[in-house]
Each structure stands twice: as C-alpha cells, then as structure tokens.
Structure 1
Amino acid sequence: MTATPADFPITPLLPDIRASLAAHPRLVLEAPPGAGKTTQVPLALLDAPWLEGRKILMLEPRRIAARAAAQFMAQQLGEPVGQTVGYSIRFESRTSAATRIEVVTEGILTRLIQDDPELAGIGAILFDEFHERHLAGDLGAALALDVQGTLRPDLRLVVMSATLDGERVAQWLDAPRISSPGRSFRVRIEHPPARAQETLEQHLARTVRQALAENDGDVLVFLPGRREIARAQTVLGHTLDEAIELVPLHGELSLAEQQLALGAAEPGTRRVVLATNVAESSVTLPGIRAVVDSGLAREPRFDPNSGFTRLETVAISQASADQRAGRAGRVAEGTAYRLWPQSRRLEPSRTAEIAQAELSALALELAAWGITAGSCSDLTWLDPPPPGALAQGRELLTALGALDADGRITALGRRMLALGATPRLAAAALRAPEERRALVADLLALTEARSPLRGEQARTDDFRVRVGALHVWRDRRGGGSHAGADAGALAAIEQAAKGWRRRLDLRTAASGVPDSHAVGDLLVHAYPDRIAYRDAGNPLRYTLANGRGVRLHEQTALLGEPWLVVLDLRHEARDSLVLAAAPLDPRTLEAEFPQRFARARVLRWNEARGAVEAFEERRFGAIVMERRSVPVQPADALPALLAAVRSRGLEVLPWSDAARRLRLRIQALRGWMPELDLPDVSDAALLATLEDWLAPYLAGKRGLDALGADDLSQALAAMLGYGQRQQLDTQAPDQWLAPSGQHRRLEYAPDEPPVLAVKLQELFGLADTPRVGGGRVPVTLHLLSPAGRPIQMTQDLKGFWERTYPEVKKELKGRYPRHPWPDDPWTATPTHRAKPRGT
C-alpha cells in the first residue's frame, strides 16, 4: 500500500532514500524540524521490495511525539490509528494485525528485541530524533546492530535526526548519509536583557508580551519543567489579555490535553504554548511565529557519591537552542527571544545520557542479552557506557537478586525486565505479598512521578503523605483532593497506577490509609542499601546500610522513627539531607534479609588510651545494631596497632636518636650506592610495609606504648642483611675516627652530604677531605675553634690548609695561645687537647 506524501521538504529525497536502502542496509538521514522525515519516510518505505510486506518499527523518544506521528500518518492514509499505522507506548497500545508501521517509545523497542532477537516480521527500524541520545535509544541501536550483524543481515536500520553529528554517526554505522535542506524561513534572534531584581517569570512575562506585540500568530515558550510552566501560567494569566489562550504542553498531561496543545487555535484566537523540551522536535505546533526560550531543560543526573539520580535544571546545548529557534520559522519569518546574555557560550551538543546516568537498568538488559563482562565490547556503541557506573549498576543488581555472583541474570531478573519498571522498583513489586500488591502499584507510580504535594505539604519528608494524598483523591473518585495536593498531578499518577495494576494483573486499587509501616516494608526491597538506623546520640542522624551518614531536617515529620528507608536525598559533604523516606518495621528485615545480619568481632584504636579495644557487634550491612566490649586477644591487637600507625603516621612510634640516625644513614647510602639494594626506609615505604618490618616487634603487645625505642632500632636494623649492615657501617658510618684518635659523629640529612663538626687541631696532618658512599660523596667539614665555635665550612680541606689556614692562625693564635698553631699543619701532630703547661 503506497501513501502519497504531501509537499514536504523531504519529498524530493524520498527516491534517494529508497534507493540507498535497497543497496545498503543502513542509512543516516539528516533533516531539520519540519522537513517531514518523521511522517513521510516510513510511508515512503511501505512498498519497498526488500521489506517484503514486513513491519516498520519507528522509535520516538517521547510518548507525545509517538502518538502525534502515528495520528498524522494515519490521517494521510485516510485511516484511524491502529490500522496500517499504530503506536505502542507505556501502558497504551493501538495496533492490529493490519499494522505495518508501528511507532514505539524507547523501552518498547528494547523489549521487542530482547523477546525476539530475530525480529520476525520486522523489516526495518527507524530511529527518529536520535540526537536526543537517550540511554534506551543508544541501547536499542546497539542491540539492533548486533541483530543485523549476526541474525538478520536483511534488516534495515535508519538513524534520523535534525541536529546530529552525521559524519560521526555514519562512521559508527558504516552507512551512507543523506541530508535534506529542509524548508524554513528566516528567524531573527533577540536577547532581551533581564532587568535588575527581575525573576525568571517576570523576565519571561515581559518578553512574551513583547513577542505578541512584535509578531503575528502564536508564541511558543520553552521552560524546563511542569513546575515552571505552572508558575509562568499564573504570572501570564494576570498580565495578558483574556483573549490570549494559555496552553501547557508536557509529558504528564492527559491525552486530551496533549491533543488540545497540538491542535490549531480557534479562528481569531492567539495562543501562548508553555512547553518543556518535548516541543523541540517531532511534534508539530501550527501557527507558531515566535519562540521565547528560557535556555533551560530538566535532565536526569546520577550522583555516584549518593547513589541517587536527580532531575536537575541545566543549560541547554547550542544544538537545542537552534532547534527551538527554528520552531519560529516553520510557516513564515519569525523571531526567537532568548532569555540569556548573547555573550554566553553554550555547549555544542547534548551530552549522551549514557555518560551521566545510573546504569543498573542497562546492566540488566545487557545481562539478559548474555553480556556480563565489564567492557561491553561485544556491542558496537556510539558512546560506550562508563565502566565504573556500569560496575556500580551490577553491584546493585546483585544486591537486588537480579544477577548471580557471576553476573548472569537470574529468574527474578528476567521477571523484573518483563515488568518494565526500574530495577529497584521491579524488585519491590515482585517481592511484595499478594495482599499488598495494589499498594505496590501506587508506589511504582508515585516514586516515578514528581511529588503531587504543594505548599507547606511539599516540604514534608514523609513519603507516606503522598500515598495518603493519592488514596484520598481516589476514594473521593477524583472529586476532591488531599489538602495541599495538586489534583491534576494526582490524576496523572492515578493513570500510571492503573497501568501498573494491569501489569500486575490487579483488578482493584488500594484505598484508605495504609498502616504505619506498610510503605516502608515494601520499599526495603527497592532500596536495601538505603535502610537507615537512628544514631543513639542524635535523633536527627542516621546510618545507612551502605555505611554513609544521613540526617533529617529540623522540621522533619519523621522525628523519633528508629528505622527508615530513604527514597531521596540531597548529597552533602558530611551527612546528606533526607528529602523523602518512610518508616519500616525491623521485623521485616529479620524476615526478608536474614543473610544481611552478621555478628563480628571488631577491633578499634582508642586514641585517648593509646590502646586497642575489642567489641562484638551485631550488624545489618554497615549498621551497628548491638555492641558489647570483649577482652582483647594478643593476636587480635596486631592488625589494629598497625592500622593505628598507618592512620596517625610514623611519628607515633618511639623514635630514639639512634633509630632516626639509622634511618637517615640507610636512606642516604641507598641513594649514593643503589647497587647495594638497601631497603627503602622513607615514610611512605615504611607505612606500606609495616607487616614486614614492624609487626614482629609488635606481636603480643596491646598498645603502642609497649614498644620500646630499642625495639624500633632493632626492627630497622633487621631490615638489612649482614653484608648490607657491614657496607652501611663502612660507607655511611655513624662516627668517623679523626686523626686525633677521637670518634666524631657524622650528621646525615636527606639529599645532603653528611656533616662532620670537628676542631681544626684534630685534623693536623690530614691532607684530603674525608669521603663516604664508596668515595663518591665528600663530607662537609664544619671546622671549629678550640672553644667549639665555627671557623669554616668546606669540602676542600687541602684548599683550606693552603689558602685559609694562615689567616685563621693569625686571627686566632692570640685568642687561644694554649692551643697549637703550627706553621706547617701538614706535618703537625693532631690533638684534641691544649698544649701542656710550660710549653
């Protein structure tokens, strides 16, 4: 069946697209918004000979776009949706046996490939708006390439986008590129500056009024999320003429509300459409002549420090800004008003979600595909998943029971995939008792949605309040809502809850107020690492099962609860702030997680006592539930003593002067004569090898004060072999025998020659400077007067005798007449004494 496409900019390229796919199984198609690629390319391929009557799957990243694309194509064919053209999105499907083009969202595509890797009955997959780089889209493309390369070489793959690095994608796919110039009118770019003390809503309202005054037609406003849309709707409602219709457009609207936003305005009516980035591409908004762009979007960001994914408001990329501006030039010349300074530089393109997302869902999909290695090198990725985030995701899946110890998917893991929830929530749903499965459906909907609470209630950290708000709204059959809750948000959550009830094969919904621990007892299966136990000394502080600390805010609604499961928090340097949690019954932990309870003997260093303490602890994960003091066994103390030395540093040890000098001599000779292979006795090396050199001398001791200075010297000396010790005493001696017959100490310092302080008279007859280190290092002589005061520093004793000694003799002979000052120091007798009386 062939459809006749309307006059779209893509129309002249349709024969080239068909010819390219006839000759090559992959294609990259670049076309700007409004070119018609989304709706015209699938129709043009319906009668392609290589398709052989099979189905075309087209991936749309957003549900609104999927519905809209299917409806538009069906209208072109003069059919209702669900005949030749249908769609499948989460909790909703309109297809039939006659469907040849099926528009699906990203998760649906992954399920289709996982359930039938041969993709029987499917001849082509089109990836629309691939530039959005959603995680599920990247995974779907990688899996489709794998299928094409191993099982289905006849499968056609087309990657389509408006703003895409086409050359890079074409190299990744090894595919030809076709580009459409599109059809758009000139768009004037304005940057109206914000005024002093002006809020974003005020700046936006003023700019919308300017856009309506300077342009015909409708105005499209881009805002980051539903909350900002609601605020803007309130402000604009007070400042615009009543004839101006305000229309919200975001993913949480009902189908009827979405269709209203996508339809044309009534004749003579102007509209201001307040949209999230869902309106950037794929959907067509008729009548738009001006765009007001906040330059912001809300995107998920995974924080590896807290283990939480949060929606963050971020600056858009330049590619997104260009695409948003292009919406103003679809039907005539238009204007784009950007609410940021013209001097601000944006990132060129959007960062792929795979680079900044929590990857447990991806890891589960890969395990189902048979990939357990950390590199994922079995698949061809445009951007591979970061190994660290992927490993973290696999650790979570193992804790949830979705992967076994070898990283293979378990039966529970396959059931979790089939359910379609995130791994955490799927684990909670599938482990719930039968009588609480209806409540689980509500929890799935509530945890995936933004909080429906408003005003003061929005600040509560008790997640049960959201459950109560939903049940009150439901029990009143939507005729009223819980005080402080948004009825529209609750209606959207109820729609999602109905979908989950269908998935869980439930006929009735939960109602009334659950008992105090019901919510927490169910969610522990989703967040076993976020189970929290209150600290004994601080009722606002808790320890998580993963070892991290968290705290409740001062106005918490959860004060006094000993056990919590934490659903959301804000990461902070010390203790993160709990944003949403629910109490739980500790008996649930005993029943559901008996393997996570353990008793252990724990050793701890007591700083005040300078000794080791021993305890027996009962733990749940990292949470200490019970602790009692027990006697310290000698064998137990050694690891704690070594740990104390490592944490406090080597200075905690009883270093004598002899031990310090020995270290300096060893380290000096190690540098001068590396061939002797002396041990490294630097701080870092000694701390790293405590078990080798210090442990034997700490064995049997319970405190560091039991280690004597002699013990420490012996421990150092024992690091040297017999031959090394002889070489040390010869080549880096502690003392030097002066010509006077007296032993004088050599002082060693890091990276310096040793220093010898000696009276000048003791060196008579010595011609050359003493040397150490196999004769490689001259000693620095500190020559002293008879009174021990410095006269000269030198490493050239011979030069001193020849040039400096006559002047020294002349100056000091009168001051020290009882000491010898010979004219010829070369032949004089060295002495450390004064001349005898009468001489």
Structure 2
Amino acid sequence: MLPIQSVYPQLVSKFKNYNTVLLQAPPGAGKSTWLPLQLVRDNHFQRIIMLEPRRLAARNIANFLSIQQQEPLGQTIGLRIRNEVVVSSATRLEIVTEGVLTRMLQADPELSGVDLVIFDEFHERSLAADTALAFALETQSAFRDDLNILVMSATLDSERYQSFLHCPLVSSQGRSYPVSEIYQPLHDEGKWLEAMPSLVLNALEQQDGSALVFLPGQREINYLLGQLSEKVANDVDVVTLFGEQDKATQQTAIAPAQKGRRKVVLTTNVAETSLTIEGIRVVVDCGKRRAARFNLKTGVTELITLSISRSSAVQRAGRAGRIEPGVVFRLGSHAQFERRDKYDTAEILCSDIAPLVLEAKIWGTDITQLPLLDKPTPIAIKQAYGLLQMLEILDEDNRLTALGQKIHQFGTDPRLAHMLIKTQELEDQLPGISALGCYFIALLESRVKGPSELRLALQIQFEKPQKQFSEHLAIWLKRFKLNKPTELACEYLSIVVALAFPDRLAKRRGQGFLLANGAGVNSHESLWLDSDYIAVATLGGIKGQRIFSATELNMGLVQDMLPHLFSLQSVCEFDEKKGRFLHEERTLIGALIVHTQPSGKALNVQIRTQAWLNLLQKHGLEFFEQYPQTKQLLIRMTLAQQFYPQEFKQIDEASLLANLAQWLGPFLDNVKQFTELKKFDLANSLQTLLDWHLQQRLEHILPKRIDVPSGSSIKVEYQLEGPAKLSVRMQEVYGLTETPKLCNGQLPLLMELLSPARRPLQLTQDLAHFWQTSYKEVQKEMKGRYPKHFWPGDPANAQATNKVKSKM
C-alpha cells in the first residue's frame, strides 16, 4: 500500500470544509500518480488540472495514468505542454506545465468547468508556479469560491505555507522504502567534479541495481560520460537524461535496464521530482545544481553552479526508495550537508521579474497587489518596470500598451517578442530586417559557438549553418512565412539588437563600456576598439560584466527608427572639480548621454536649488560641516518615534534623503555658493519637521542637556542602540540620589563619572547603588590624588560643587 493511501480519507474530508489544502508527502508516496487518479475515479471532482513543473515529468505521469485507465492519452487523462496538446471533451484530469496553466488562467480567469487545481512539487518555487498560484488564489476569492486548490510537495516549509494559504495541512509519513545514506568527504571543493567518477564506480561496486547520478548540467554529464564509458563493467549501460533531449532519447533513459544488465543514468535535477525510473535503487548526488541568478545591476540572468538545499537533497535521495530499499551516496561530509540551506531560494527573489510584472498587468493588477508567498524587492520591481517601458510594453505611467498585449500573446520572451514584432513593422522601411530578426533569435536560441562580433557570427551561419541553428531558424521563418533571404541585411543589426536589448546599448568608458541601464561592463580587448557605441546581445562572466557578443551601434539609425528610446533632460549640476555649475540639455538613452548642448535657460533660483539637492543626494547628509552635531538631533528624533510612535513620525536619514526637496529645498533658495552650502545649519531645517508642541515634547523626554546639582548643564550623548551617556565630574552630582530618567525611564542613561581632571572614574546606570558601594574605594584613592577637592563621606546628601574646597 502506498503511504498516500493512509491519509486519503483525511484529505478528502478536508475539502468538505476548506477550499485549499496543503499536502506534505515524501517521494514515492504516490501523491503525483495514485492520488489524482483516485480523486477522479471516486468522482470527488469532475475536472482536475494538475500542474507539473517539468515537461518530462508531466508527459510521463500522463502516459502512466492513461495506461492505468487502460485508455489512450487524451481520454480521461489529458496532457497539455508546449507544442503538445492531447485532450478531449472526455478529459477529467489534465496534466499541464507551469506556463500553460498561467495562460489558461489568463484566457479564462474563472477556470470554467474546473473544480480542483493541484500544484505538484511546489517546493521548487519557480516564478511561473508562484504566478499561477497567485492567479488561482485570486480566481478563488473573486470569482469561484467553489474552486479547490491542493498544494503539495515532499518538502515544504509547512508552517509558513499554512499561514500564507490559511489552510489545513495533511501529512503522509514515511517513504515507500527506506534509503540509507553514505557520505564521501571532499577535501577540495573546487575539484568536486573530478571526484565523481570514483564515487560512481564505488557505488556500483558496493551496491546492486541501477544508479541515478545527479549533476548540474550537460557539461558535467558529458564529462562523466567520457570518464565512465570505458571503466564500468560490461553489464552496465551509461545513459544521459536532461531537459533539452528529444522525447525518444528521454524515454530510452527512463526505461528499465535490459534483463541481466544494469543502468547508470546521468541526469540533471530534471529527475529530482515526480519521475520514477524503474530499477533505480542507488542515487549518487554531487550536491550541486545549475540555477539562474538575475543580476539587477547589469540586467543579465546568469547560470551559476551552487550547492543544493537539504530539502532538494532529500528529494534526490527519494528516487532510490521508489520501488525497493535503496542507498544514496552523497559527495561531501555530513557536516557539509548540515550546513546547507534548508530550502532553495524562490525564483521570485533571484530572477528577472519583468515577465511576472507583464503577467500581472495582463491579469489587470499590479505585482504588489498579487497574493505572493515571497514579495520581490522594490529595486527588482523598479528595474522590471524600467525594462518594460523600454520595450514599449508599458507606457510612462506603467499602463499596459496595445503592443504590450500583442507581445504577451506572442508566447515567447518579452524581449524577443518585441524585437520580432517590431521588425515586421519596420520591414517596409528597412527591407530584410524581418529575416535578420529571425537569424538573430536563432543564433541566441541555438547557442552555437561563433565569433563575439554578431555581424560575423550571423554571416558564418548564413553561409555554412550548423544543424542546430538551422532547426531554430526554420521554425521562425515558417512562423512569419518568410523565405531564406539571398543576403542578410546586417546594416540593420544594431536596430535588431536594440529592439531586444535596449538596456544593453553601450557607450565607451575607459577600457570598457557603460550600459544604458547604468552598469559598467568589460569587452574583449581585441573587439570594438574603434566603436564609441555598441549594441550588446549577451553578457556573463564574473558579476555579469563580460561582453560575450555585440556589434557596433549605428546611433543615427537607432535615433531615426526607435525614437521612443531617447529622452531629453535639462540638467543643472554643480561640478565640484571645476567649482562651477554645469547647465545643459542632454539627449539620453537610459543612463547614456548621447548628446549635450548648453542650456538656453537662465540659472534661476529653482534650477540652482535643484542642483544643490542633486549634490546632496549624491553625498548624503554627511556633506554638511555641522553634521556631527546635527546627527544627535537625528538620533533623538528617531528614538522619540521608537518610544512614542503615536506622537512622532518616523524620521531617519534614508527617508530624509528621499524627500530632500520637501523639507530642505525651501531653505536653500538663498544659498548661492558652495562654501555656504557646506556651512549650512541643517539642525534648523530638521526641527521644522516637528511642530512647536513636538519640539517641546522632544526636549522634555530626550533633552540635549541635563542640569546637575552643581548648576552646570551637561550635554547628553545619544545612540540608536544602547543607553544614552552623560559624562560629568563626580563632585557635580553630589546630592543626586538617583540616575536621571529619559523617556519616563524607558531609555537607560549611562553616567560616566569623571575625576577633577575629567578622567573616567566610574560607569554606572544606578547612581544610588554606586554611592552605597563602590564610592568608598573611589573616595579613598581620590583624597590622596586630589586633596584640594571635596570628597564627602555621604555623597548622596552632600553639597554638589564645581569648585575646590577653599572656594566653596
């Protein structure tokens, strides 16, 4: 009996009272196969859509379930993945992939006829899965309170997910079969790949059955394939399995080993979930995966190799226990394993979210309004909006354009869709640009190796195309009903690149280039030596700052054909090096200054004030000479808000810099010289943020100075964390029986008691206790060192003084 069967009645009963349920079930429990089929057979739901993150898993589950039904695929069990749809009016359980489910929701937000949506292996937390779940939850709350949602995975941060979904948890305990663990310590992390062949061979020698070997990508798979092919026993077949393979090759890898033979399957994390490979009882896990990481600075998504989380390691190990007891060999020590993150980082926190922003706009909302388990950062959202504006998907008010609708319907990456659609529109003006666009996208998608200069790389593929390139090219030429051209219109190449990657137009700066998105990048020293401007297609390397492919940019042609990329800006800046104002009109592409000319406008008060504000935005409040004194006021205002949030608004340096024009601008109208700005008294401007009553209140609860019994007024030093500090000579606080209170005693005051020579004698937050205890020792020492000063026996009741005894 499968583990999921024991909790099946509980799961079904939950749906009687809740429309969302969370299911946690380990690998091999039957949640992806037995469960959805049983829900159909028992008629609990009339039509179910189950999302599978990977096409390979979706196809295999659909085929397996249709066999269980003794029906051809497309009857009770249907499949809908990219370029493969097998469904009918009889379909009751439809297996779909992530992007497909999002498109189904966009086309029919009510999901008519569907009464259950299952999100399988949700722990993978892809951007598409998060998007689809957000839309499904909105459909459930706005249109279909009868729509049921089941979120399930082997490894979930269940408490957090329950809180987000407001739903019950059903847990299925235990694997189908136990999996033992063997760790192989790794002494040099940089040579982990070289350690894999011996680990695989040891696993095959020690264990029976076939093995599944997890590796990050095709490069590592090919390396290990070459290392193992001649070293494994004669009865062992070494095969590969990854997402980019054709369907027939994948099915061969998944099939059980021939009778009397064993199989070693070298795979990526495509086999990590929802996939049973018959005969596998050994898993060899390198502990690595390939992941996409979006570089906000350069706007580039980079593929990097990193350690998997513990939850992913559990998923991988579970492949060994699907059909019999198994074993997992892990590269690395157990201590290294325990130091890994518990869960993988959600894609929404480390990916380009421009596609999600577009989906949200099509859905009719803003990304910030979607019910998302993890919210993208404001910086990521701002970057996405900026890109979508450059792609003409959103207007300057961030509203969806007609072109944006068309790009979404195109069904490919927004950048490439924008390029392909616009080249069609420009064909009459620039003959041959449509075919050039098809060649360019084929070059990007096929990933064939070639020169970094795009014009040369395209010309090579035009004259002697590689098979992989030709396959991609044929698809795009057919889609646009184009014949292969007799020659390439490469004179328009910079237009094509600019349409897809407007944020990567670049201007020479020193030995490298400045991108339109503001990032600095490096180029190969032998390329683009004479070009002031280039159009960059691909970037990567360390921090995404290495140009992999680009071409010279025809700025005049781009300005004529793509005027939407250019903006005019009137700028007034104070040049600190030259000591004068720079007042000019600029033509810009993002951060690139394409053209400048002196401004014809007079340098009036408003323009000058804005220049000062821009300078302060650059330097921060530390720019002012009196900042150290002003900082104490800032700290007091911040503390007041912490202790009395109902009375005081939040005031910190970040918010002050964000609103300089409102609170500081009016005070700078009469500042004409740089030296005047440096000496400006910032404290007076800051105090105006509080009305007269709050200014008095601030002085009462957090005074600048405290009057002590001697008559002196002593300055208080405040800090954001920890107690305030009062440094005062000990004789001046005789007669003071307790430590002064700040914020009605909420903020501690540390008294630093000083000698007559102002050297520290004692630190205390309890003055009364000090008088009764440690003072005697201090008195004994001070009488000998400072005999002319007053050292009473009872300081708590003595007269305070700031004079020597003879003048008291």
- Is 1:626 paired with 2:583? no
2:290 is paired with a residue whose SS is: strand
Q: Is the 8 A contact 1:224 1:297 kept in 2?
A: yes
2:115 is paired with a residue whose SS is: strand
1:432 is paired with a residue whose SS is: helix
Letter in 2 for 1:140: A
- 1:679-690 maps to which residues of 2 (within 5 A)? none
**How far has the Cα of 1:116 moved from its partner?**
0.7
**How far has the Cα of 1:402 moved from its partner?**
1.8
- Is 1:383 paired with 2:352? no
Q: Give structure 1 stretches of 5+ with no counterpart.
A: 1-6, 476-480, 482-486, 672-681, 721-747, 754-779, 783-792, 805-839
- Is 1:410 paired with 2:410? no
C-alpha separation between the residues in 1 aligned to 2:252 and 2:461?
26
Letter in 2 for 1:45: L
- Is 1:550 paired with 2:542? no
Match of 1:149 in 2: 141
C-alpha separation between the residues in 1 aligned to 2:549 and 2:502?
15
What is the TM-score with the length of structure 1 in the denominator?
Answer: 0.70
**How far has the Cα of 1:603 moved from its partner?**
4.2
Letter in 2 for 1:551: N
Residue 552 of structure 2 is aligned with which of 571, 583, 600?
583
- Cα 1:62/1:497, change in 2 over 3 Å: farther
C-alpha separation between the residues in 1 aligned to 2:806 and 2:598?
75
Match of 2:638 in 1: none
1:350 is paired with a residue whose SS is: coil
CA deviations over 1:180-211 (Å, ceiling 9, x no partner): 34543332211223466983332000111101
1:204 is paired with a residue whose SS is: helix
Q: Is the 8 A contact 1:468 1:513 kept in 2?
A: no
**How far has the Cα of 1:97 moved from its partner?**
3.7
Q: Is the 8 A contact 2:236 2:263 kept in 1?
A: yes
2:355 is paired with a residue whose SS is: helix
- Is 1:364 paired with 2:333? no
Match of 2:302 in 1: 310
Q: Is the 8 A contact 1:517 1:583 kept in 2?
A: no
C-alpha separation between the residues in 1 aligned to 2:564 and 2:458?
30
Q: Is the 8 A contact 2:3 2:176 kept in 1?
A: no
CA deviations over 1:578-612 (Å, ceiling 9, x no partner): 23334343244223332443555544545554333
- Is 1:426 paired with 2:417? yes
**How far has the Cα of 1:340 moved from its partner?**
1.6
Aligned length: 684
Residue 499 of structure 2 is aligned with which of 518, 521, 525?
525
Residue 315 of structure 2 is aligned with which of 323, 333, 340?
323
Q: Is the 8 A contact 1:697 1:715 kept in 2?
A: no
**How far has the Cα of 1:111 moved from its partner?**
0.5
- Is 1:257 paired with 2:277? no
Letter in 1 for 2:563: P
- 1:380-779 maps to which residues of 2 (within 5 A)? 380-433=371-424, 435-441=432-438, 443-444=440-441, 446-447=443-444, 451-453=447-449, 457=450, 460-463=451-454, 467=458, 471=462, 475=465, 481=466, 490=468, 505-508=479-482, 510=484, 514-535=488-509, 538=510, 540-556=511-527, 558-570=528-540, 576-598=545-567, 600=569, 602-607=571-576, 609-628=578-597, 635=604, 638-639=608-609, 642=612, 646=616, 695-696=669-670, 698=672
**How far has the Cα of 1:101 moved from its partner?**
2.3
1:521 is paired with a residue whose SS is: helix
Q: Is the 8 A contact 2:299 2:517 kept in 1?
A: no
Q: Is the 8 A contact 1:518 1:584 kept in 2?
A: no
Match of 1:346 in 2: 340
Q: Is the 8 A contact 1:612 1:640 kept in 2?
A: no
Percent sequence identity over matched residues?
A: 34
What is the TM-score with the length of structure 2 in the denominator?
Answer: 0.73
C-alpha separation between the residues in 1 aligned to 2:609 and 2:680?
21
1:343 is paired with a residue whose SS is: helix
1:525 is paired with a residue whose SS is: helix
CA deviations over 1:266-321 (Å, ceiling 9, x no partner): 22222211111111111111111211111111112222222222222121111111
C-alpha RMSD over aligned residues: 4.7
**How far has the Cα of 1:781 moved from its partner?**
13
1:122 is paired with a residue whose SS is: coil
Match of 2:32 in 1: 38
C-alpha separation between the residues in 1 aligned to 2:390 and 2:443?
23
Q: Is the 8 A contact 1:114 1:369 kept in 2?
A: yes
Match of 1:51 in 2: 45
Match of 1:272 in 2: 264
2:488 is paired with a residue whose SS is: coil
Letter in 1 for 2:534: L
- Cα 1:281/1:205, change in 2 over 3 Å: same
**How far has the Cα of 1:569 moved from its partner?**
2.9
Q: Give structure 2 stretches of 5+ with no counterpart.
A: 636-652, 688-713, 718-724, 727-755, 759-787, 791-799
- Cα 1:257/1:520, change in 2 over 3 Å: farther
**How far has the Cα of 1:107 moved from its partner?**
0.5
Letter in 1 for 2:359: E
Letter in 2 for 1:26: T
Residue 236 of structure 1 is aligned with which of 219, 228, 247?
228
2:112 is paired with a residue whose SS is: coil
